[in-house]
Structure formats: structure tokens, C-alpha cells
Amino acid sequence: MLTELREGVWWYECTGVNAYLVADGDGVTVVDTGTPFDAATVEEAVETAGFGLGAVDRVLLTHYDLDHVGAAAKLAVDAPVYAGRDDAPFVAGERRPRLAGGKSLLQLAVGPLVPDVPDDRVHPVADGDEIGGFTAYHTPGHTPGHVAFVHEDRGVALVGDLVVERGGELRPSPWFISYDAGRVADSIDRFATDAPGFEAIGMGHGTPFETGGSDRLAALADR
């Protein structure tokens, strides 16, 4: 089911994870792509929103995990794919995660299931980069190259696994699925301070909030 969070901002569910679609004057943007088995779900979402697959101008990936990048190489689109500078080499298959605890073990175990995106389509993203109507914020911790994207005109932040929704509240990404829980906390604090105000906040797991997004994030940072 496709749910419109804000004008031109849609949320839909893939296999155990959320994904998003944004349309504005800069075109149509897919944000995260679900698992390797979700290409048809992503494509159906684009078409249900009223766009052809050829209208997709870019794919933004918040981070390298099977459930966020899995279908990126399988989509019937030829759009550029943007990922955080430290995660982009994994998306393109140029590097594999190094062995550094439980999170990396999981990534190494499921990595063979994730098709590589051709390297000429993968574009590394740095903190503060502007891509279409979005601004990228480097938010490491869950993964080294995790990025949150804010679309100020649409009033939405799409934050991947920086936070999750549980029990009607925002909570930090759990330590046991993160590279560095301390850096997750630091990234939440910095993002809450640096990002412009936004109403809607969409995360990878849990129900997005349509209102009060930046206030909710600030409250989490203050705990």
C-alpha cells in the first residue's frame, strides 16, 4: 500500500523494511530499495504514484544493508544511484565489509545475495551534498557511510536506520545491528542540531511520523 506522508512524498513497505518515493520539480526520487526480492514492489510503487519507470531520476540509498540496497541493481531504471562515501564502494561491489563484530558478520553473510550496482552508476555522497531537492547529512554509526536525506521544501527527513520507531516513539538504531552505537548517538545529536526543521520523518523500521518530526528527533537527542 502506498501512503502519502506529505505532498509528493510516499511511503510503502517492502519485505520487513520501509522505502520512500519523492516527486518534486527536480524529478522523481526513489529512497532505499528494500531487499533483493523487492524490485517489483518498488516499481509498482512508482507506477501507483502515477509515474513511469523512465521518470525516475535518481535512487538515494541511506546505507549499505541488504534490506535497503538489495533491489537497487534490479530495478528497471537507468538512474544514478547515490550512497554515502564510505558505503558506496560496497554498493558497487568494489569492497566488502571488514570483519569487525556482529554487524559486519551479518553483512558478510548476506552480501552474496545483494547484486552489485554497476560502478559507473554509483555516486559517493558527502556531508552537505545537494542532490535534486535533497541535502545529505553524514550520520555514521549504524554503518560507516550512513546518510540521512532532508527535503526542506517537502518538509521531510528520510533517515534510514539512524533511528527506529517503537511504541510510538523514536529510538536509536539498536546497538546489536550497528557498527558503533556511540557514533549512532553522536549522529542523532548532530543531525538534530544541523538539519532544518521538518514535519515528516521516515525511517527504515517502524511507522513514519507525518508531523512533529524534528521536535521528536530533538527530544530523542536530549534524553
Strands, sheet with 81-84, edge to edge from the N-terminal-most edge strand: 3-6, 9-13, 18-24, 27-31, 56-61, 81-84, 122-125
Hey, CA dihedral for 102, 104, 138, 183, is it positive or negative?
Answer: positive
State percent of the chain over pLDDT 70: 98
Task: Return the amino acid letter for 76.
Answer: A
| All structural domains of the chain | 3-221 (3.60.15.10)
Q: Which residues on adjacent β-strands are paired with residue 223?
A: none
Give the model confidence (pLDDT) of 100-147 as tens digits: 666 777 787 877 889 999 999 999 999 999 999 999 999 999 999 999
Give the model confidence (pLDDT) of 145-174 as tens digits: 999 999 999 999 999 999 999 999 999 999
Where residue 99 falls among pLDDT bands split at 50, 70, 90? low
Are the CB atoms for 24 and 31 separated by under 8 Å? Answer: no
Q: Compute CA 60 distance to the chain's CA centroid, rounded to the nearest angstrom.
A: 7
Select the more confidently predicted residue: 176 or 50: 50
Three-state secondary structure call for residue 164: strand
CB atoms within 10 A of CB 171: 15
Residue 95's pLDDT is what?
86
Residues 6+ apart with CB under 8 A from 72: 33, 59, 61, 81, 91, 115, 117
* Range 114-136 burial, b when 16+ CB lie within 10 A, else e: beebeeebbbbbeeebebbbbbb
- Helices and strands, number each (H, E), in the chain: 6, 14
Strands (E), the chain: 3-6, 9-13, 18-24, 27-31, 56-61, 81-84, 122-125, 130-131, 134-138, 147-151, 156-158, 163-166, 169-172, 200-202
Residue 100's pLDDT is what?
66
- Whether 47 has a pLDDT exceeding 80, the answer reads yes
Residue 108's pLDDT is what?
79
CA atoms of 50 and 88, how far apart (whole Å): 30
Residue 102's pLDDT is what?
66
